[in-house]
Amino acid sequence: MRFIRTAPVIVLLLAAGCAREEQPRGAPPPSARPARPGASRPAVTPAQYVSQASSIDLFLIGASELAMRKSSRPRTREFAINEITAHKGTSAQLSLEARRLNLLPSATLSARHQAMLNELERSADFDALYRRDELIVHQEAEALHSRYASSGSSPTLRPVAQLVAPIIQRHQRMLKYL
């Protein structure tokens, strides 16, 4: 009787062992091999996701606060208000969920985002540069959040990414009319 109960387990273990990918002798494990051109990028860790997403939010909020002061176009200022409200909300949600994992969102911009914000602040053609930078950073944000929403390793952070991805997509559509 005991053999009958353990037989399916043995069969499954044997099948799992047979399903292993054969490695040539001396070949590095798949994780040590360089990625093929066109292969998907490595997975983003929860800490990387929180760091990148918080820098994006900080940039979008900071750039939009500048737009409120420097833009001469009402449509741009209206977009900036929407941007500030939305990204303060997404930032708060990210912070809440990240803290559950003992991760702290960055309080500073990445070097790249800081350089973009500095350039925007000094720009003579603010509205054109603001629109360009918003498009660039929203594309970056869409890639990050969409990818994490579908394949992120943290079940705590995936819902945040799922919440943010459509907001980013909506902002990208709005940017077309600026």
The average pLDDT across 130-147 equals 96
Average model confidence (pLDDT) for the chain?
A: 82
What are 56-101's pLDDT values in tens digits?
999 999 999 999 999 989 999 999 999 999 999 999 999 999 999 9
pTM over 0.85: no
Q: What CATH class does 46-175 carry? A: mainly alpha
Is the model's pLDDT at 8 over the cut of 80? no
Distance of CA 44 to CAs 74, 153, 156, Å? 38, 8, 14
Summary count for the chain: helices (H), strands (E) = 6, 0
The full set of domain ranges for the chain reads 46-175
